[in-house]
Amino acid sequence: MDPKVIEKIVQEMGAFSSDMGEIEGVPMLQDICKEWDTIHSFQARDGDVVVASYPKSGTTWMQEIMDLILQEGDVEKSLRAPCFVKVPFLEMAKTSLEIANTMPSPRLLKIHLPVQLVPPTFWEKNTKIVYVARNPKDCLVSYYYFHKMDQTLPDPGPLENFFHLFLSGKVSWGSWFDHVIGWWKAKDRHQILYVFYEDMIEDPQREIRKVMTFLEKDLSDEVLQKILQHTSFKSMKKNPMVNFSVLPTSVFDQSVTSFMRKGQVGDWKNNLSVSQNILFDEEYNKRMASSGLNFRTEL
Ligand code: A3P
């Protein structure tokens, strides 16, 4: 991987402003809004594979699993570049689109877009998409700490403030509720594998197998064990290609909190107050009642 490419993407991310705009009513960073026409007209190729999620749902984890499956468990190859270079994050930074457009197939691509904003090319090409969903309480807490650390996102203020922004969907990439429900409905019409973060924590081997089957890769148990080991929280936390330590503090200030922060189910209990939890449950029950979706907030 050309180090200049890494430098370019890091520079571009460093120049991002935290100003917000909207795309079809969904709050999005202004820098993404400016490039929206180019992003939306992105051209998929046969054989592309996509990882999609609401932010902080375990995207990087799934991305590493999928990359290793596509590389048939070759750990050396998985270390070829930082995760945001080897798996271009389509809507984030022009350089990601350039990398995606010039990289050889099969490509693994990342999006955080709500389903209605997905570039139509992916539906036309019947692209395989793995969607990762995480329970909203842990997602909220993880997103809050991420806002404090990611200098391209607006300052979240105190948790009390961010709590209301999250519940009302006034955060980057919009409402968690709309996101997970939109993708859940879409899975019956497209090639989408819907995976839960909590299931991955509970039994990563089982979930990796599901992804392997979905990607039509018949890998040996030995390879599966290698993928399992390399994608454990402990391994990923010390892997500079996935822990974002290659980004300068002007982009990700990991002195505030690590990107690989806790990697647990139920950390919300250490962060949300009793009254916030009651408010959250009320909103959750209202929004999710007829969704057919069931999230676990503890294991
Ligand atoms: P926490 O902040 O709760 O620790 P994303 O990649 O979508 O931004 O998600 C980041 C979240 O996934 C973080 O959650 C991070 O710690 C967690 N994560 C990343 N890799 C993981 C792994 N191998 N096992 C468990 N959790 C992981």
> Closest residue (by CA) to atom 22 of ligand 1?
233
Q: Is the CB of 239 under 6 A from ligand 1?
A: no
The answer to whether the predicted template modeling score (pTM) of the entire model surpasses 0.75 is yes
Q: Return the closest-CA partner of residue 154 out of 167, 164, 144.
A: 144
Q: Is the pLDDT of residue 110 over 80?
A: yes
114 lines ligand 1 (CB under 6 A): no
So what's the pLDDT on residue 1? 63
Using only C-alpha atoms, the chain has a radius of gyration, in whole angstroms, of: 18
Read off the pLDDT band of 10 (50, 70, 90): confident
Q: How confident is the model at residue 57 (pLDDT cuts 50, 70, 90)?
A: very high
Nearest CA to ligand 1 atom 8: 56
Q: Is the CB of 59 under 6 A from ligand 1?
A: yes
Domain ranges of the chain: 26-288
**What would the CATH number be for the domain defined by 26-288?**
3.40.50.300
DSSP secondary structure code for residue 155 in this structure? P
| Distance between start and end Cα atoms, the chain | 40
- Evaluate if residue 23 carries a pLDDT over 80: yes
Q: What pLDDT score does 7 carry? A: 86
At 6, the pLDDT band (50, 70, 90 cuts) reads confident
Burial (Cβ within 10 Å: 0-12, 13-18, ≥19) of residue 204: middle
Question: For 35-44, 203-212, 241-250, 280-289, which range has the lowest pLDDT when averaged over its residues?
Answer: 241-250
C-alpha span between 58 and 101 (Å, rounded): 25
**Residue 47 predicted with pLDDT over 90:** yes
Structure token pair of residue 147: 């806002």
Mean pLDDT of the chain: 96
